[in-house]
Structure 1
Amino acid sequence: MELDTESTTTSIDDKTEDFCENPTRDTLAEGLMCLLKPTIDQLDERVRATRISQVELKQQIEGLAEELRKISDSQQCPLDLDAYVKKLMTAKQKVTVVSNILQTAQDRLNKVHLLIEKESARRRALLEPTPSTSPLEATNPSIQ
C-alpha cells in the first residue's frame, strides 16, 4: 500500500492567495468603501465636534461654579438656607395637595346639595296642590 503524501483537504490558508487577487472582490470592496467613507468621515467629524463642544461646556461650567463660589464667599451668609428652602417647597406641595382635595370635596358637596334641593322641590311640587285647583279637586280627581 502506498501512502499519499499530498493532502487533499483544503484550508482557508490555501485559498487566501486566490481570494486576494480576485478582481470582483476588489471592485466590490472599493465600491463599498466609496459608499461608506463619506458617511464615516461625516460621523467622525461630528463626534470630534461634539467632544470639543463638551470640553468647552465643561470649562464654562467650571467657570460658572467658580463665580458662584466667589459670590457665596462674598455674601458671608451664616446660615445654610438650602435646607429651609427645601422644607418650604415640600410644605408648599403638601398644602397644594390638601387644597386640591378640599376643593374636590367642596365641589362634590355642592353637587349633592344641588341634587337635594332639586329632589326637595320635586317632592314639594308633588305634595302641594297647585293654586289653580281647589282642595276638593286636588283630593278627588273625578270631579274634574
Structure 2
Amino acid sequence: RELFAEGLLQFLRPAVRQLDGHVHAVRSSQVELREHIDSLATELCRINEDQKVALDLDPYVKKLLNARRRVVLVNNILQNAQERLRRLNHSVAKETLRRKALLEAAGGYPQGLPGK
C-alpha cells in the first residue's frame, strides 16, 4: 500500500507541475489578449470620434468590451485553477515527505525502493 501511494505521488507531481506551467502560459496570453482588446476598443472609439461621416462603431466597441469581459472571466477561472494546482502540488510534496519519514522511522525503505 505504501509503495502504491509513493508511486502515485511520484506520478502526480510532474503532471501537476506541467499543468501548472500550461495554466501560467494561458494566463499570460489571456492578459496579452485583454490588453489588445482594450487597445482596439480605444482605437475604435478614437476613429469614431474623428469621423466626419456618422459611422456607428458603438456595436463593435460593445462586442469588444464583451469579449474583454469574457477574457477576464476565463482568466479568473484559470487563476483559481492554478491556485488549486499549487495547493495540490504542495499537498503531494508534504505527503511524500511524511511517508518517507514514516518509512525511515519504521526501519528504512522496503526492498526495491530507492533511498532519498
TM range (shorter): 0.3 to 0.5
Greater RCO, CA 8 A, separation 6+: 2
* TM-score of the aligned structures, taking structure 2 as reference length: 0.45
